Structure 1
Amino acid sequence: MRRLAEMQGARSCVPQLLLLSSCVCAAAGYPFRTPLDLDVTPRITVLSSGLQGCRRFQSSAVNYSTMLLEPDSERLYVGARGAVFALNASDISASSPLTIEWEASPEQKRQCLLKGKDNKTECFNHIRFLQRFNSSHLYMCGTYAFGPLCAYIDERRFVMSSQPEEGRDKCPYGPLTGYTGLIIDQQMYTASQYEFRSFPDIRRNSPSPTLKTEDAPTRWLNEADFVSSALVRESLGDDDKIYFFFTEKSQEQTTSYSHSRVTRVARVCKGDRGGRLTLQKRWTSFLKARLMCSLPEYDFHFNMLRSMFVMPSHTPQDTLFYGIFGLEWKKVKVSAVCRFSLSDVQDAFQGPYMENQNSGLKWKEYTGKIPDPRPGSCITNDLRARGINFSTSLPDDVLDFVRRHPLMSQQIQPSDKRPLLFRRTTDYTRMALHRIQALDGQTYHVLYIGTDEGWLHKAVEVNGQLHIIEELQLFDEPQPVNNLLISTKQMSVYVGSPSGVVQLPLSNCHRYTSCYDCIFARDPHCAWNRAQCVDVMAHTDRSTLIQDIQQGNRGCAEISSADVVLRSRSVRVGDDVLLQCELSSNLATPFWTLNDNELQGYGLSSGFRTGTDGLLIIEAQQDQSGLYTCFSVENNINVAVVAYNVSIRLDLPPPPPAEPTEVPYSHPVTPPAPTEHPSSERPLPPPPGPLLPRSELLSPRSMEAMYLSIITILGGLCVVLTVVLIYVGFCLRLGHRGKYSLRTAAAAYPNNKRHKRNRKQHRNSSQMELKTISSHCNGNGICNGVSKQHNSDIQDGGFLQIVPGEGHPSPNKETPPPAPPLPPTLQLPSPGYEIPNGLSATLPSVLRRINGNSYMLLRQSESENTSPNCYSFAEELNKILEKRKHTQLLPRPDESSV
C-alpha cells in the first residue's frame, strides 16, 4: 500500500512539473514564440538520392559564388576560386566547359602571408564580380590574394583580352567581405569595405566622374555590410535610381530600437555628378531608410539582412523587393522572408529626415525648414525647366542639407505588415523568384530559397503567406547555398555552392502519382490531366487540366482512384501487430477505420497506438480482428492508402525452428523469418505444443517496478528542465547570445561497437538521455524513415511530450532479475524485412509521433548507482526478442494484393 501511494504521488507530481516547465518555456521562449501560421512545414521532403532531372558541375576549383546568366543566353558563366567557367545552360554537365585559369601569383601569395592572412582560404584569387560590360566583353574582378585585380573577357573566344588592371576601388580584399556591384551603361557601381582599415563606401568607379559617400562631418555609412543592389527604371522624364541593400550599426539611439544593427536600403541617382563646390566627387542624391521585418504582435525584429531579390514589373511602381532576414545572434538559427513594394520605399524617401544633434549619437526627426529643391532628389524635367540640368547646379544650401541629413525618419514596413514566412532552426541564404500564371488566371510568385545546409525550398505565395511545396536536399554533405539563378528559357534553377553548381528543373510534376497528390501540392507549374500530373507550361490546351492553388483540395472528387492495396495478416492472440501506413506528405495525418467505422480511442488502455507510419495493435485479442483501413487526411480530404484484413486466432501453429548461425556477439539481432510455403500447398499445422514458461522480466511485479522507476526519472528530469529553462530565460533577458534548443533523436540499436564507444565516452558527461523513437514528419526528426538532422527542433512550440508506459500491479515483490545476454546465434535481416506478425524489423527507426504520444526509450548512464529497475534499450529489445522466441506464428502469413 505504501508503494502504491508513492506511485500515485509521483503521478500527481508529473503534471505539475510539466505545467511549471511549460510556463517557464512560455516566459523564456522569446524569440521562439511565433504565430503557428508563419512557421511553415515543407509538404514533401526529397533527399539527394531521390532528385530527378538533377545535373551537376564540379572541377578542381572551389567556392562557386559568382554566376551570370542572361535571359537569352545559352551560357552560364560561373566564377570560382582561381577560375572562371562558361557552362552549357541547357545542361551544365554536358561537355567540357570553357575555362579561364586565373590564380594568384606566388609572390602575391607570399605578400598575403606576410599580412597575416589565412593561407587556406584568403590567399587565393576569389572571383567576386562577373558581369557583362558590352556586347562583346565581360568584366570580372578578383581578390587576388588581398591585392584586387580586374580584367576584361572576350566572350567569343572566352579568354582575357587584356592584362589585369588595378581593382582596389572596385573589389574587396577578402572573400567574405560584404559586396555588391552593377555595370550600367558601361559604368561600374559597387558597394563594399574596399580596404582593411577603410570605411564602407558606395562608389561609381568608371568612367569619370567618380563618386563616393561622405565621411564627415556626418558619416553616411556605419560599419555597413552590403548584400545586394538593383537598378530600377523610373518613368519618362525622371532619372533612374540604384538601390543598395545592407545591414549597418544603428544610429537611432531610441527606446524602440533594441538591436545594435539594423537593415537599410539606400538610393542614389544614376545621373548624379556630384556637387560643384560642396560635395565634390560625392553623391548629392544619397539617402537611406530602415527596412522593418518584424513580428509586431511579439515586438520582435529581424535585424540582419542576408539576401534581397528584386522582382521587376511592367510598371516601376509595381516593383517588389523580397528579402531574407535573420538575427544578429549567430548561434540562433532563424529566418524570415519579408516583401516590400517600391511605392512604400519611395514614400519613405519623400518623408521627414532625421537629424544628428551636435555630432553625437542621438538622432531625432528633423522639424525645421527643408530647402528647395528637395534634398536628395534626382534631376527631373521639372528641375530642368528651372535651369537645373545637372547635380552640379544644385544650390549649396541643398547640398549642405544632404550632407548632414542622409537618414530618413519613416520606417519601411512589409506589404502585409508582417513576414510572409518564418522558419525556426533554418538559416536561409539566397533566394530567386519565378512569376507564373496558373489555370485560375492569377499570377503567382514561386520562390526558390536556399539554406546554409544545402537544401532548396520551393514555395508559392498565396494570399500573403507562403506554402512550401517541397524541400530538396542538394548535397550529401551540408554546405551553404552561395547563389541562385532562374532561367525561364531553360526552365531551370541554378545553385552555386562551395563544392560545385547544381541545375534542377523548375518543377517535377511526375513526382505526384495521384490526382489528390497533385492538387495537394498547390504547385502552379503542375496540374492533373485525368491520367497523370503534368507540367502546365508544356500544354497549350489547358481546358482539361485540374489545378487548385488557393485551397489545394478541389477538383478530384469525381476522378476514379486506383484500387486500394489489400493485405492480410494472421497473428496469434497476445502478439503485437504493426500495420504500416507510410504517408508521403509531411502535412498529412493518419486516420484509421475498423470495419468501415472510425477506430475509437488510442489511450494507454485502448490496445492501439497510431502514428504517421502505421497502427500498432498491442497484445492483440480476437475481438480486434477485422478490416483495418488507413486514410491520409490532408486539407480536410480523406484518401485511402492501404487496407489490412487482420485475423487474430488462438490455434496458430508455432514456426519451424531456425538453424542457428554463428555471428559476433556485438552484432544487432532480430528473430529469423519463418519458412514460406506456397499458399496453394500450405501444410497442415501441427498440434500446438505446450507454452514455455513466461520470463520473470515480463511479470506484472517487474512491470510495476519499471513503471515506478520511469515515473521517478521523469519527475527528476522535469525539475532539471525547469531549472535549465529558468536559466535560459534569465540569460535571454540579459541579452546573452546563444542557442538553446531541445532536440529529439531517432532511436538506434545500441548493440554495435560504435554505440558502445559513444556510451563509454559520454558516461561522465550525461546523467540521463531521453530519446524518442519517432516524431511527426513535418520537417523535424525522422521523415519517411530517414533522419533529417538539418531540422531537428521540437514540434508544438518546442515542448517535450512525455508519455508514461503501462504498469500492472502484482503481489509478487521480488526484484526482477537482470536481462539475459542477447543470443549470439541470430542475425539481423536486411533493411525493410518484415516479421510475420507485422512488426517491422526497423521499428525503432521508422515510428514517428503517435498522435500526441510517442514510443519512448529511457537510457540511463552506466554509472554504478544505476537503478536495477531501469533497463537500457538493449535489455528491453532482448526482452521483446525473448518473448517473440516463444510466440507461435503461422509459417507464412496469408498476404495478397488486389
Structure 2
Amino acid sequence: MEASAVCRYDISEVQRAFEGPYMEYQDSSRKWSRYDGAVPEPRPGSCITDSSRRKGYNSSQDLPNSVLDFVKLHPLMFEEVQPAGGEPLLVKRSVAYSRLAVDRVQALDGHSYDVLFMGTGDGWLHKAVVLGSNLHIIEEVQVFRDPQPVETLVVSRRQRSLYVGAASGVLQVPLASCAKYSSCYDCILARDPYCAWDGWACRDTASSNSEVPGTGQERLRIGVDGLLVTNTLPGHSGEYRCYGEERGLRTLLAAYSLTVLPQLPRAAATTTSGPIAASQASGDTKVVYVSAIVVLVVLCAVLGTVLLYVSCLEKRRGKYVLGEPRAVSPELQTVSGSCLRKARGEEEDEEDEEDLAYPCLRIIPGEAPTATVSPAKELPEAVPPPPPPPLPTELTNGVGSLPSVLRKMNGNSYMLLQQQDEPLASPLYSASFTEELSKILEKRKHMQLVEKLDESSV
C-alpha cells in the first residue's frame, strides 16, 4: 500500500544522538550492536568548529584516514531520534510525497506558523500548516497537467512565490491564494496564515495593514466594550474594525470610519449661544415633564370622583340578584281560640280582650301580589278580604269539618277533630286535652270508615 508520513524533529534531539555511542556490525552474530571502543579525534559526525580549524581541519577533506576508516565501519548511531510529540504530524495514504519545502510565517495574532509545501509523485502540490501536533492541509493543487513527480521546491519570500520544478519545466506559484475565498468564513476556516479578512475581501497579510491600534499610545484605550479615543487628533482619522475571535476563528463584528477635523465648522464656531440654547432645551424638557405629571394627576382625580359617584349611586338603588323566582312557603303558627271564636261569630267576653290584642292568621285563596313596595312609600289602607268558602259537611272518611284547633306540645303538632253537629256545651278551650281526645276516640268507635282513607283530610 502506498503511503507517506511527515514528521517533525528537534535539532537538539539530533545533536544528542550524534554525541552518543556508535553502532558496529558483528560478523559472528550478524547484527548491529553498540560500540564502546575508542573514538578518533576529531569526532566523526561532528561539525567543523573554530577549535578544529585552529588544528588545521578546515573541511572534511582535511580529516585524517583514521577518522574516515572509522566512519566506514560505524555509519550508524546507537541512540534513536524520535519525532516531536512521539508521532508523525501527518500520515496520508495513496500519496507518495517526493519533495518538501517549509516557510515560517508570522500571522496577525503574533504567533509564527510553519507552512509546508509538499510535492507528490504525480504532479500535485499540497499546502499545509502545522497547528500544534497536527498538520492541516489547506489546499491541493494540480500544478502539472501530465502526471510526473515534483523534483524541486524553492520558496522565495521576496517574490512571495513558490517555484516548482519537474522534468517538463518550472512553474511559479504564489504563496497565498487569498482571492479564491469569497466569504469571511471561507477565509478564516481555511486557516491560511498568509490570508486575512479585512471586512470586504480576503487579502494577503503582506499587502495590507491590519495593525491593532492603541499599542503604545496613551490616547487610545482598548477595553472589553470597545476602543476609546481621547484627545482626538487628525492623525486618528481612518477606519476602525472590531473583530470577534473564538478558538482561532475571527469574524468582523463592526466597522467605523472616523474623520477628525482640524477645526470646528464655521457655523458651529460662530455660534456663541450654544450653552444658552442647551440650557433652554433642558428647561423646555423639564416643563414638558412637569406638564405631563400634572395632567396625569388631574386625570386620576377625575377618575376617582367618577368611581365614588357610581358606587354611591349603586348603594341607593339597592341590591339585585339574578335568578329564577321561588315560591314563598308560608309558615303556619298556632292559632288562638279567640280568633276562631271571632270567625264563628261568637260573642267575646271581657276577659278575652287580652287575647284579641294579638293578630290572627287567615288563609285566603288566591296568590299574593309580587310587587315590591318601597319602604319609603306608605301602604294604602287594607281592604277586608272576602269571607272563606263554606266547609264541606262530611269528609270521605266520615270525619266532620276541618280541624278547629291546632296545638303544639313537646314539638309535635296534632289536630283536634270535632263534628259540626256537636253542641258546644262549654267554651272551646275550657276542656282539657284528655277530655277532648276521649270524646273523639269514643265517637270514632261508632263510625263506619271507608276502605281507603283520604289521609289528606287529617
Task: Tell me the TM-score normalised to structure 1 length.
Answer: 0.23
Greater C-alpha radius of gyration: 2
More helix by proportion, 1 or 2?
A: 2
Task: Tell me the TM-score normalised to structure 2 length.
Answer: 0.44
Considering Cα pairs closer than 8 Å and 6+ residues apart, tell me whether 1 or 2 has the greater RCO: 1
